[in-house]
C-alpha cells in the first residue's frame, strides 16, 4: 500500500514567505493574510527544506521545531487546518477502543470561584476585587453545597475551583473546604487551584510546594487546572501581570503535581502583547515539560477578552484563533487532547475549531465568572453541545477530567 500523501502533494506552492531578512523580501507571498501584522523577525528560520517536504513530514506525524512552526503558521488557513486535523486523527485513532476519530467529547462541570479577592492586579483581569469592595466575597460551605447540588442535577461530574490570591485565607481554610466537599460529594472531582495560586500559597503558608499539594490531595483535590499560564515568557508576563507567578514557577508547580500523581491541563491566553514567537516559545515549554513529566491531559488556548480590563489590545478574531489552535495541535505532539474555546469564540467557531485540531468542546460551564466579566458572554447547554458535535458528523460523548467516557 502506498504511503498516504499530504493532500496538497506536488501542487503545494513552492514559495512561502519567511520574513527573516533581506534575501526573502521579494519573494511571492504564499500565505493568507492574518489579522495581526506578519512577523518581522523570526530567529533561526531557514527555508532550505522544501515546503512540500515539510508538509509531508508534518502529515506523517514528525515533531516540528520552532522555526518550522513559524512557517506553518503562515500557511493558508485551510492548509494549516488540514494538517492539524490530520495530527488529531493520528493521535486520537487508538482512543476509545479505536473510535477516537468518531467521537468528540465534552465535560459537564461548573466553575466555582471561591473568592474574588486578589492582590495580584493582572492588567487583563476584570474579575478581581480588593478587600472592602462592596462585591468582594469568599464562598461559604453552604453556597458551595448549593452550587455542587445544581451541578449534579445537570449531570455534572466536576467543579473547576479557582480563586483570587486572597491575602488572608489560611491553609486550614482551604483544607476544610476541600474536606467538606469531598465528604459530602465524594463522586465529584475537584479540579482546583491554578499554579499561580499554589505559588501564592507557598509564599503565604511558608511551606514547600510538595507539602502543600500533598495536603490538598489528602483533603480531596483531584486534579489541577492550567489557569494562569497566559504566555510562559517572562517578558510578556512582566507587562501583563507583573505580580503573578513567573513562567518557571508555573512549570514547577505542574512538575511537582505530576510527580505526585496529579494530572493537569495546560493553557495559553493569547492576543495581547505577545508575538508569534512568544506563543511558540510557550508551546515549546509545555511540550518540554510534558516530555519530562507526562501529566498534561489537555491543552486549551483562548483569546484575551479586553472589556473592563486595563490592558488594551485589538481583539483577536476567529481567523487567528483557529490558526493558533491548529498550530498548537501540530506542535504539542505529546499532549493527547485539544479543547476548543467556544467560551471566547462563540459556539459556531468552537464547532469549526473541531476541524482545526480540537477533539473536545470543553465544558458546558454551568457557571463562569472570569472571562464573562471581560466581555465573553456565550452560553451552552448539553443539547447545544450535542447538536454542534453531531452536525459535524461526530458522536458527542460526555467525559470526565481524565477523558474517560461517562454514560
The residue ranges that bind ligand SF4 (CB under 6 A) are 118, 120-122, 125, 127-128, 164-165, 196, 241, 244
CB of 366 to ligand SF4, least distance (A): 20
Give min distance, CB of 113 to ligand SF4, in A.
8
Say if residues 88 and 358 touch (Cβ distance below 8 Å).
yes
Question: Is residue 146 helix, strand or coil?
Answer: helix
Calculate the alpha carbon distances from 340 to 138, 163, 235, 337 in Å.
30, 23, 27, 10
* Minimum gap (Å) between residue 355 Cβ and ligand SF4: 31
Locate 288 and state its grid cell: 518540554
Closer CB to ligand SF4, 121 or 205, in the complex:
121
- Rounded to the nearest whole angstrom, what is the least distance from the CB of residue 160 to ligand SF4 in the complex? 14
CB atoms within 10 A of CB 97: 7
Q: Please state, in angstroms and rounded to a whole number, the distance separating the CA atoms of residues 303 and 323.
A: 12
Task: Say if CB 331 and CB 80 are below 8 A apart.
Answer: no
Q: Supply the minimum distance, in Å, between the C-beta of residue 273 and ligand SF4.
A: 15
Closer residue to ligand SF4 (CB): 100 or 164: 164
Nearer to ligand SF4, 56 or 196 (CB): 196
d(CA 130, CA 127): 10
> 119 or 315, CB closer to ligand SF4?
119
Please report where in the chains the cell 500523501 appears, as a residue. Answer: 5
Can you tell me the distance from the alpha carbon of 388 to that of 395, in angstroms, rounded to the nearest whole number? 10
What's the min distance (Å) between Cβ of 165 and ligand SF4?
5
Measured from the CB atom, is 68 or 197 closer to ligand SF4? 197
Rounded CA gap, 188 and 220, in Å? 10
In sequence order, which residues have a C-beta less than 8 Å from that of residue 31 and are 6 or more positions away?
16, 17, 74, 75, 76
- C-alpha cell at position 241: 501581570
Q: CB nearer to ligand SF4: give 82 or 374.
A: 374
The candidate with the shortest Cα–Cα distance to 39, out of 70, 72, 68, 16, is 70
In terms of Cα–Cα distance, which of 259, 264, 266, 249 is closest to 210? Answer: 259
The nearer residue to ligand SF4, 129 or 355, going by C-beta atoms, is 129
Taking the least distance from each CB to ligand SF4, the nearer of 325 and 373 is 373
Min dist CB 186 to ligand SF4, Å, is 29
Name the residue nearer to ligand SF4 (CB basis): 67 or 125. 125
* CB of 250 vs ligand SF4, minimal distance in Å: 12
CA-based max dimension of the chain: 70
Say which residues have a Cβ less than 8 Å from residue 212's Cβ, sequence separation at least 6. Answer: 171, 198, 201, 202, 205
The C-alpha cell of 128 is what? 478581581
Closest CB 237 distance from ligand SF4, rounded Å: 11
Min dist. Cβ of residue 244 to ligand SF4 (A) = 6
Nearest to 378 by CA among 334, 348, 340, 335: 348
Distance in Å, CB of 137 to ligand SF4, minimum: 13
Q: What share of the chain is helix, strand, coil (3-state, %, to 5)?
A: 40, 15, 45
Minimum CB distance to ligand SF4 smaller for 127 or for 331: 127
- Is 166 or 258 the residue whose CB approaches ligand SF4 more closely? 166
Contacts of 289 (CB under 8 A, 6+ apart): 251, 254, 255, 266, 296
Amino acid at each position: 500500500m502506498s504511503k498516504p500523501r499530504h493532500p496538497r502533494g506536488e501542487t503545494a506552492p513552492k514559495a512561502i514567505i519567511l520574513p527573516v531578512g533581506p534575501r526573502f523580501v521579494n519573494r511571492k507571498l504564499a500565505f493568507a493574510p492574518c489579522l495581526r501584522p506578519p512577523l518581522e523577525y523570526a530567529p533561526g528560520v531557514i527555508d532550505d527544506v522544501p515546503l512540500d517536504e515539510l508538509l509531508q513530514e508534518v502529515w506523517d506525524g514528525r515533531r516540528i521545531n520552532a522555526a518550522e512552526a513559524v512557517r506553518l503558521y503562515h500557511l493558508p488557513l485551510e492548509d494549516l487546518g488540514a494538517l492539524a486535523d490530520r495530527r488529531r486523527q493520528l493521535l486520537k485513532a487508538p482512543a476509545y477502543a479505536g473510535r477516537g476519530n468518531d467521537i468528540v467529547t465534552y465535560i459537564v462541570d461548573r466553575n466555582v470561584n471561591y473568592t474574588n479577592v486578589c492582590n495580584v492586579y493582572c492588567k487583563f483581569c476584570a474579575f478581581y476585587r480588593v478587600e472592602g469592595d462592596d462585591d468582594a466575597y469568599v464562598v461559604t460551605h453552604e453556597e458551595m453545597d448549593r452550587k455542587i447540588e445544581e451541578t449534579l442535577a445537570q449531570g455534572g461530574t466536576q467543579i473547576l475551583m479557582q480563586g483570587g490570591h486572597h491575602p488572608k485565607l489560611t491553609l486550614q481554610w482551604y483544607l476544610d473546604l476541600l474536606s467538606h466537599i469531598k465528604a459530602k460529594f465524594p463522586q465529584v472531582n475537584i479540579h482546583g487551584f491554578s499554579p499561580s495560586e499554589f505559588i501564592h500559597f507557598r509564599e503565604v503558608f511558608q511551606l514547600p510546594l510538595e507539602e502543600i499539594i500533598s495536603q490538598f490531595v489528602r483533603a480531596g483535590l483531584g486534579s489541577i487546572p492550567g489557569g494562569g499560564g497566559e504566555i510562559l515568557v517572562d517578558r510578556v508576563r512582566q507587562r501583563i501581570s507583573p505580580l503573578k507567578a513567573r513562567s518557571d514557577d508555573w512549570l514547577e508547580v505542574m512538575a511537582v503535581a505530576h510527580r505526585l500523581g496529579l494530572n493537569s491541563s495546560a493553557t495559553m491566553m493569547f492576543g495581547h502583547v505577545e508575538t508569534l514567537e512568544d506563543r511558540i516559545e510557550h508551546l515549546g515549554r509545555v511540550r518540554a515539560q510534558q516530555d519530562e513529566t507526562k501529566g498534561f491531559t489537555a491543552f486549551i488556548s483562548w483569546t484575551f477578552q479586553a472589556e473592563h480590563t486595563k490592558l488594551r489590545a485589538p481583539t483577536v478574531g476567529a481567523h487567528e484563533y483557529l490558526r493558533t489552535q491548529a498550530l498548537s495541535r501540530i506542535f504539542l505532539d505529546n499532549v493527547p487532547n485539544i479543547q476548543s474555546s467556544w467560551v471566547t469564540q462563540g459556539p459556531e467557531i468552537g464547532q469549526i475549531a473541531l476541524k482545526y485540531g480540537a477533539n473536545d468542546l470543553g465544558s458546558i460551564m454551568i457557571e463562569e465568572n472570569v472571562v464573562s466579566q471581560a466581555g465573553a458572554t456565550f452560553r451552552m447547554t448539553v443539547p447545544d453541545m450535542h447538536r454542534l458535535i453531531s452536525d459535524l458528523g461526530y458522536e458527542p460523548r460526555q467525559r470526565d477530567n481524565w477523558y474517560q467516557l461517562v454514560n
